[in-house]
Amino acid sequence: METQKFLTENNVQIESWGPFAEGKNNIFGNELLVSIAEKHGKTVAQIILRWLTQRNIIVIPKSVRKDRMAENFDIFNFELTQEDMDVIRQLNTGTSLFFDHRDPAMVKFLSEAKRNT
């Protein structure tokens, strides 16, 4: 949240690196997300995308399946409550599943990888 505040103040738009965490940690079977999905009559994928969208985070979910692509677009006819938002936030472990974008060595690696392509 602190990072998002800083970026917003500097006109930088956040985009989710992998909105479904690439399916890691059995995200689609997460009990908390399943219960919120059942409450809204939506899927876990839709709850995740709605949670990100309500936080003004851009999502570009990847799917090779047409039915899932349609499902992933169908998130604009319901709203998560503040309580839903707060509860979902508690799933944050504070550690990236991928890598630390603030690690100078990683930033150097990424900038060099881009230069070499």
Ligand X SMILES: NC(=O)c1ccc[n+]([C@@H]2O[C@H](COP(=O)([O-])OP(=O)(O)OC[C@H]3O[C@@H](n4cnc5c(N)ncnc54)[C@H](OP(=O)(O)O)[C@@H]3O)[C@@H](O)[C@H]2O)c1
Binding-site ranges for ligand X (CB under 6 A):
17-23, 28, 45, 60-65, 68, 71-72
Q: Given the complex with ligand X, which of 20 and 84 has the nearer CB atom?
A: 20
Q: How far apart are CA 26 and CA 2, in angstroms?
A: 27
Nearest to 56 by CA among 15, 93, 19, 94: 15
Helix axes 82-89, 31-40, angle to 10 degrees: 170
Min dist. Cβ of residue 52 to ligand X (A): 10
Nearest approach, Cβ of residue 6 and ligand X (Å): 22
19 vs 51 by CB, closer to ligand X? 19
3-class DSSP state of 34: helix
In which region does residue 95 sit, left (phi positive, over 0), alpha (psi from -120 to 50) or beta (all else)?
A: beta
Q: Provide the minimum distance between the beta carbon of 48 and ligand X in the complex, in angstroms, as a whole number.
A: 9
What is each CA distance from 112 to 9, 48, 91, 101, 115, in whole angstroms? Answer: 28, 33, 33, 14, 5
The distance of closest approach from Cβ of residue 84 to ligand X in the complex, given in angstroms and rounded to an integer, is 18
Nearest residue (CB) to ligand X, 62 versus 89: 62
Nearer to ligand X, 101 or 108 (CB): 101
